[in-house]
Chain A
Amino acid sequence: MTWIYLLFIFFQPFSKSEGFFAKFDADQEAIIIIGLGDLNQEHIPQKVAVYFGETIEKDQPQVIGHYSKKGSDIYFIAKYGFTEGKNYTVVFKKNSTAKDSEIIKDRIVVHIPFTQREPSTFVKQVFPTTDQIPMNQLKFYIEFSAPMRYGNAYEYIKLYRLPEKILEPEAFLASTDELWDPSRQRLTIFFDPGRIKRGVQPNLQLGLPLVEGRKYQLVIDQTWLDINGVQMTGTFEKNFEVIAVDRTSPDPDHWSIDIPKCNTSKPISIDFKESMDYGLLHSTLTIKKQSGEFIEGEIELKALESQWFFYPEKPWGKGKYQIIINSWLEDLAGNNLSRKFDVDLSDPADKPKNIEEILIPFEINTQSDF
């Protein structure tokens, strides 16, 4: 009889901590648990658990996912994926029916490596695209080809004075809140408005960040990481020359409007005769039919953002329409339709016009000409 006892001791299942092993398989996107082949599929959830991190906090829930058996291996696929660069702990509970204090387990920590990715993200464009920038230019928009990592943006954005390539420090308002669009592909950066607005302290102490007649280079560094933690494909440079200050509000009387023909999907366009703010050209103009219905369509900007084109989703129908332009549409220097960016309170001509919207009525006729 003794040999039976010995045999039993010898083949004690799962009694040794080295009884199982786990690893991450990048191709299968699964943690593979090896050495628990004796477990039936239906017993896996009671016996095996995967936790996020290398330590398990009190009350920490296990990671939601699916366990399946392939041969003698157990595959764990996390429902919402594994996080690269992080550790997961695989726990084997030997006695799932025991009371809390007696739960006995072994654990193995599995590291999920970063996927090696080739750089693919780049700066698509910096707006305004013009290389003639007014001395009181207010902001730049930087558009990326893919979402970027949040935080520390200003470490990668530099302004140099040419030709010496001298760094212009504190040119931009490095606010703690970075102004990203929801998809994190467009960042808005402001020149320090305190240096632009006349008479306020930063303006008096440091002067305007840009000086008329000088040339500058805006540099966006390649080492900026995208959302996957990968550098960009290259450094972006924008050279520009600074021209005179712009202290006039855009004047709708100087704009020209091109109206398309009925039953076509040709665009309606406005020529502002000066470069306008890229971002606001996308959000301040809407077109409404007399019946009140908004017209849907696509916007295209041309001629260094001085021309706005609107392509309707459906061909234009006969009738009366309105272009509604919100008064916060600005030129490059932040002068909007209602007021200038930098107002001289003693000058009556600088008084804000107090308008909310500008309405431009137009009509689409069956006649081909208007």
Chain B
Amino acid sequence: MKKLLILIFISLLGISFFLIDNSEKNSRSPEKTETSELKKPVEKEPNYELTGFKLGTPKIKSMSKLTFGPGGVLFLGDSKGAAVYAFDFKDNKKAEKSGAVNIKDIDQKIAALIGKDRADILIHDLAVNPISQNIYLTVSYGGKNKEESDIFDPNYINDASLLMKVDSKGKINEVPLENVSYSQLTISSVFSSNVKFRSGRPKNLFTIRYLNFDDGKLYISGLSNEEFSSTFRVAPFPFKGQHSTTGIEFFHGAHGKYETSSPINTFIKYKIDNTDHLLAAYSCTPLITVPLSQLQDGKKLRARTVAEIGPGSHPIDIRTYEKKGEEFILIANSRRGLIKMKPSDLAAQKKSINYPTSKAGVPYQTLIPGRHLKQLDNLNKDYVILLKHQKNQRGFDLESIHVNDL
């Protein structure tokens, strides 16, 4: 019996030598995992009461914008379906460190995951889960089959239908949306699909243009079918089935007139002179402020235009960051790159710009010039993350920048 065991042992050795020998023929390893994970006790965010959530499969028509709420809840805008979904993926394990995430060819990796060419996919939005630091992306495929033109908004081309999650090690996974815990907010007074822009694109592409969550409320910019179609909606979260609707008008220096029909492209809640404001940017590219207290259901209000960043460009994301104890405002723009504003300069702009001009108001500093930015978010307290078009325009990279370098 002993002999038999020894023989088996020898034969196993034989196999393994054979296998090792064989491995040399395969030079590249597809499954290269990163260094081992640190096992630390998991810190959890305080429990958030998620009322109104149910288990099921939401009928999403067109994914677009993303933002995170309390306890790792992900909000997802569905413009064509006139709804915002809140998902509880239980992605609420606190990240272990404030590291950088840099992934070259992120589009190619996502394409490989779904078995497509990189030229066949579009990344629509990016949001970082502030607790886990996992990066979520909305993605579409099949909308193009040639090199992408420098299109500003992928939703012009296609409806996103996939949700992807990228972890700090760069591992990409699809987030399935079948049998998930979710709640839903229906957006009212929306354009029907046959009302179109001059370009022929339906106006309901922009029912939801941008999302942000702050202090128990989900803020939604977009369009409504009302006379002031530029609309700002506010809904308490957990959803109670309703949202308020406020029309916003502003003076657009580059067009030399008041405008009521463009949606706010990006915004944040921001304190100016110790009062909560909405700090928002439109295409072409005025920056406006409105005291949040003025946002009332059914009201139409006039914002203060505090800057004109220059026509022919689109703001993508506004964020703030702290560098050595001092706060700054960061704006990603389709043509002007990554720009930085000082809060004191913003606060000093007391008067609204009300005359024709294409560049005026709050001064800014260009940190990264160029036309290759697609997305911006805070990754953690030390880094912001960018989705960038590669210089040769082939694909996209995720790139982290330390706040001290901004």
Contacts and interface: CB of A to CB of B under 8 A. Distances in A.
Interface stretch (B71-79, B195-203, B206-214): B195-203
Contact of A150 (B19, B144, B174): B144
Which of B32, B109, B145: most chain A Cβ within 10 A? B145
Contacts of B199: 283
Contacts of A282: 196, 200
Interface stretch (B23-31, B246-254, B325-333): B23-31
A28 B200 CA distance: 39
B368 interface: no
A94 interface: yes
Interface residues of A, number: 63
Interface in A95-128: 95, 100-107
A326 B197 CA distance: 11
Given A182-B201, A286-B195, A9 B23 contact: no
B8 interface: yes
Q: Give the interface size bracket for B toward A.
A: 35 or more
A292 B225 CA distance: 9
A149 B109 CA distance: 24
B61 to A, nearest CB: 14
Contacts of B33: 100
B28 A4 contact: no
Contact of A83 (B4, B20, B116, B170): B116
A49 interface: yes
A279 B25 CA distance: 60
Interface in B1-47: 3-4, 7-8, 10-11, 14-15, 18-20, 22-23, 25-26, 28-33
A292 B227 contact: yes
A65 B156 CA distance: 29
Nearest to A178: B149
A88 B30 CA distance: 13
Contacts of A326: 198
Nearest to A149: B145
A100 B141 contact: no
Nearest to A228: B145
A129 to B, nearest CB: 18
B145 A60 contact: no
B400 to A, nearest CB: 16
Given A5-B11, A8-B8, A83-B117, A56 B30 contact: yes
Interface in A306-320: none
B115 interface: yes
B393 to A, nearest CB: 12
B318 to A, nearest CB: 28
Which of A55, A101, A150, A176: most chain B Cβ within 10 A? A150
B192 A296 contact: yes
B109 A103 contact: no
B342 to A, nearest CB: 37
A56 B29 CA distance: 8
A104 B16 CA distance: 10
Contacts of B29: 100-101, 103
Contacts of A186: 200
Contact of B200 (A1, A51, A63, A283): A283
A61 B109 contact: yes
Given A61-B109, A282-B200, 12 more contacts: A5-B8, A49-B30, A57-B112, A59-B171, A60-B30, A62-B113, A64-B174, A94-B22, A103-B29, A104-B19, A150-B146, A282-B196
28 contacts: A1-B3, A1-B7, A5-B11, A9-B11, A52-B116, A53-B112, A57-B109, A61-B113, A61-B172, A86-B117, A88-B115, A100-B33, A102-B20, A103-B23, A103-B29, A104-B19, A105-B26, A106-B22, A149-B145, A149-B146, A150-B144, A150-B146, A151-B147, A283-B197, A283-B199, A292-B227, A294-B192, A294-B195
